[in-house]
Chains A and B, each alone.
Chain A
Amino acid sequence: MELGFTLAVFGGALAVVLGGIGSAIGVGLAGQASSGVMSEDPEKFGSYLLLVALPGTQGIYGFLSAFLVMLSLGLVGGPLKSPTIYQGWQILIACLPVALAGLVSGIHQGKVCASGVYMVAKQPKDLMKPVIMAALVETYAVLGLLITILLLNGINL
Chain B
Amino acid sequence: MTDTTSTTMGAAIRPRSIHADDAAKARLKKRYAAEQRFKWIGAAAIAVSALFLVLLLSTIVTQAWPALRMNYMTLPVDLSTAKVDPGALGSVNYDAIIQEALAAKIPDATSRQDRRLVRGMISTGAGLQLRQDIARDPSMLGKTVDYAVPVDDFADLYLKGLLAAKGSVVPLQSAVTVSADSGDVDLGFDKGDILTFAHAAGATEGENGVLNLTSGAASLLLEVNGGIIKLTEVSPAANDGSTAKGTVIVRPQGTAQAAGGAAKLRVIDAPESSRKISDKEIVWLEGLKGQNLVESRFNTIFFTGGASREPELAGVWGAVVGSFLTMVVTLAIAFPIGVAAAIYLEEFAPKNRWTNLIEVNINNLAAVPSIVFGLLGLAVFLNFFGLPRSAPVVGGMVLALMTMPIIIIASRASIRAVPPSIREAALGIGASKVQTVFHHVLPLAMPGIMTGTILGMAHALGETAPLLMIGMVAFIVDIPGGFTDPATILPVQIFMWADFPEPGFQQKTSAAILILLVFLIIMNAIAVILRKRFERRW
Q: Do A and B come from one complex?
A: no
